[in-house]
Amino acid sequence: MCTINGQSYDWSTISISMLGNINIEGVAAIEYEETQESKTYYGIQNKPVFIGRGIRECKGKIGLYKYEVDKIRAAITATNKSLLDIPPFNIIVQYNNGTSPITTHSLVNCIFTKDGFISKVGETDSTSDFDLAITCIQYS
C-alpha cells in the first residue's frame, strides 16, 4: 500500500461520478483494467528477435448497492429499464488522500454488459456486480 505523508490511498479517499451523478455513494466496489495482446517472434537459434503488440482491451466491473441500481433504473426512459439499454457513459474515479494532488481516472464510453441481481442467505447488504465494457481508460 502506498503512503504519502502518512496518508494512504484507500476506499475512503475515492469518489465516483457517473450517469450525471456527482460523487455517488451507492458503490461497493470498482475494478478496471487495460490489457494488450503481445506475441514474441523468434529468429535463428530460437532466440527472440522482437515482440509484436496486438489490440488493447479495457474492461471493468462496478459493485452497486440495490438502492443505487433502483435509482439508475428509475432514470432510464425505455420501457424495459434494463441497464443494457443505457447509452455509453463515462465514469470518473478520483483519488484524494488530502495530502497529494487529486488523481483522476476516466473510464470512457462505458456500457453495462450484464444486468441482474443476486441476494444470498445471511447477507446484510444487497449488492450486485455489473460487468462493464470500456472504450479507453485515461489516467491523469
Domain ranges of the chain: 3-139
- Spatial CB neighbours of 98, under 8 Å, sequence gap ≥ 6: 7, 13
pLDDT per residue as tens, the chain (140 positions): 555 555 666 788 899 999 988 889 999 999 999 999 999 999 999 999 999 999 999 999 999 999 999 999 988 877 788 999 999 999 999 998 877 788 999 999 999 999 998 877 877 778 999 999 999 999 98
Q: Tell me, what's the pLDDT at 78? A: 74
68, containing H or E segment:
helix 66-75
Q: Tell me, what's the pLDDT at 2? A: 54
Q: Tell me, what's the pLDDT at 67? A: 92
CATH match of 3-139 with 1.10.1200: no
Q: Distances from the Cα of 75 to the Cαs of 23, 25, 69, 81, 124, in angstroms? A: 17, 17, 10, 8, 26
The cell 443494457 sits on which residue?
84
